[in-house]
Amino acid sequence: MKRIVNFSSFNVFSIEKEIWDIEYHNHNFYELIIIASGKGTHHLNGVTFAYQKGDVFLLRPSDAHEFSIKRKTRFIYIKFTENYIWESLHTDKKTELNKVIRLMMEDSSFVYESAISNKADREHMLQLAGILLYEFNNKSIYSKETSADLFSAMITILIRNTMNSGGKERISKGTSQAEKILYYITVNAMDADKMKLENLAKEFTLSQNYISIYIKKQTGFSIQQHVMHQKIKAAEKLLKQSNYNINEIADQLGFNDASHFNKIFRSYKNMPPSLFRKNN
């Protein structure tokens, strides 16, 4: 799979395409993509879903994607590094943004949907993206500062939509040690090496025995159960929205084989994955 590398901390540009000619890829940066016009489908991490004018997608460096265009589409891209986002945001927003990014990483459904649900905010994001595009490329006096402020405003709208869509209650709970560990598991559940108990314990400077007991006591579930829960959530998404067959999904999610995947999935959902796909 191709990896696109960007060497600047912040970049804004627009492209218009009738045919998508960039192969399936990921990046070394975060990416905010605004659909200025057109429609088609977005293929993201093996899942396919429709896009239309006004949709906004926030992608992580690890996310792999490509588009299929049905109607000529104009994309506005805002590429940024983690350092840039902290430098550009006003101090009072940094804590909230950190929580929003954590929420995005924990909730896979957030990634697969437009980040902006409010109709007025979708229009505002389009307008702000257009102005940002102009300021970034104009390079006149104070363009750099204006671009940072515009970007900050867009991220603030993103925060507002996330909190209005049910995130407020979740991100207001704080970040206890248990939540940090669960967040880490959520992000890295598909990485077998990082999920080894000795490596997980090392990440949080805890003993293997203690971290196991602690998570079980705090949540009622073992670390392995949390890992498996994330895999089942990913399996549901792939069964609903991808064209991968059962063997491919089993392999992608790190199961020994399709038989093992079928057995585990059935224990969680009371039906085999093939029937789950048919019903959905």
pTM of the model: 0.59
Task: Indicate the residue type of 203.
Answer: E
Compute the distance between CA of residue 115 and CA of residue 58 in angstroms, rounded to an integer.
Answer: 7
pLDDT score for 93 = 52
DSSP secondary structure code for residue 207 in this structure: -
- Where b means 16+ CB within 10 Å and e means fewer, 28-57 reads ebbbbbbbbebebebbbbbbeeebeebbbb
pLDDT values of the chain reduced to their tens digit, one per residue, 280 residues? 566 776 788 999 999 999 998 887 777 888 999 999 999 998 887 677 889 999 999 888 877 888 999 999 999 999 998 778 766 665 455 555 565 555 554 544 455 568 888 899 999 999 999 999 999 998 888 888 899 899 988 988 887 787 665 544 444 444 567 877 887 887 788 888 989 999 999 988 888 888 999 898 888 889 999 899 889 988 988 898 788 899 999 998 989 899 999 999 999 899 999 999 998 7
Compute the distance between CA of residue 240 and CA of residue 236 in angstroms, rounded to an integer.
Answer: 6
pLDDT score for 218 = 84
Q: Which of 113, 142, 129 shows the shortest CA–CA distance to 44?
A: 113
Instruction: List domains and CATH numbers for the chain.
Output: 2-171 (2.60.120.280), 177-279 (1.10.10.60)
DSSP H/E element including 179: helix 177-188
- Where b means 16+ CB within 10 Å and e means fewer, 78-88 reads bbbbeebbeeb
pLDDT score for 103 = 56
Compute the distance between CA of residue 275 and CA of residue 9 in angstroms, rounded to an integer.
Answer: 46
